[in-house]
Amino acid sequence: MRQKPTILDRRIVATSRLFCVEELKLRFSNGVERTYERLAGKGAGYGAVMIVAMLDADHAVLVEEYCGGTDAYELSLPKGLIEPGEDVLAAAERELKEEAGYGARQLEHLTELSLSPGYMSQKIQVVLATDLYEERLEGDEPEPMRVDKVNLRELSALAQNPQFTEGRALAALYLVRDLLTQRGAFLS
């Protein structure tokens, strides 16, 4: 196993309401020194969840919301922050109800994904939700989200949709498709 670099100095160089930019001065085991910057979340950092909610054996729920990063309405999976005192599955259940109007009788934590580990410290927990039922909770979204669906057999086409650009969501959908195929839960 490689030896991690030694942190020579660490400081916050910029902050906003949601994020901090942290500067790290590092020395690698070969003596080379570099300065890295990374985007770090503010506050306690309880994490986030992304939910692949299966309507049936083939179709997963997508939601459409305005995304400030791209200044566009984007399709993605339901997701959100884990609140203090919540575990991953409780957060997934809450976010699914708030964003898509569904609850799930079965929730399973699958994995943890990062988006850009060279520059961001945030990670997201991927949860599979099955045996859905309709139930809506009031959330913190500024407007109702449009709910859509995707056939897991058509992920290549979804990846070509200019309104669907989030790599973590695509990875989670492929992961679930493979998992359901291995379990024999996919319709023929």
Is the pLDDT score of 42 beyond 70? no
CA distance between the termini of the chain = 44
pLDDT of residue 187: 54
Do residues 149 and 57 touch, judged by C-beta distance below 8 A? Answer: no
Is the pLDDT score of 78 beyond 80? yes
Mean pLDDT for the chain overall: 91
Mean pLDDT of 139-154: 91
pLDDT of residue 102: 97
User: Which residue has 């934590």 as its token pair?
Assistant: 109
Is this model's pTM higher than 0.85 or not? yes
Mean pLDDT of 64-86: 92
- The band of 16, judged by pLDDT with boundaries at 50, 70 and 90, is confident
What are the tens digits of pLDDT across the range 90-109? 999 999 999 999 999 999 99
Do residues 24 and 36 touch, judged by C-beta distance below 8 A? Answer: yes
Encoded amino acid at 156, one letter: S
pLDDT-above-70 percentage for the chain: 96
pLDDT of residue 164: 96
Is the pLDDT score of 54 beyond 70? yes
What are the tens digits of pLDDT across the range 147-160? 999 999 999 999 99
Mean pLDDT of 43-68: 89
Is the pLDDT score of 176 beyond 60? yes
Q: CA-based angle 56:59:65, to the nearest 5?
A: 125
DSSP 14-61: EE-SSEEEEEEEEE-TTS-EEEEEEEEE-TT---EEEEEEBSSSSEEE
Is the pLDDT score of 5 beyond 70? yes
Is the pLDDT score of 188 beyond 90? no
Do residues 20 and 120 touch, judged by C-beta distance below 8 A? Answer: no
Which three-class secondary structure state does DSSP give residue 174?
Answer: helix
Lowest mean pLDDT of 60-69, 116-125, 162-171, name the range.
116-125
**d(C-alpha 188, C-alpha 180), whole Å:** 12
**d(C-alpha 39, C-alpha 57), whole Å:** 38
pLDDT of residue 142: 84
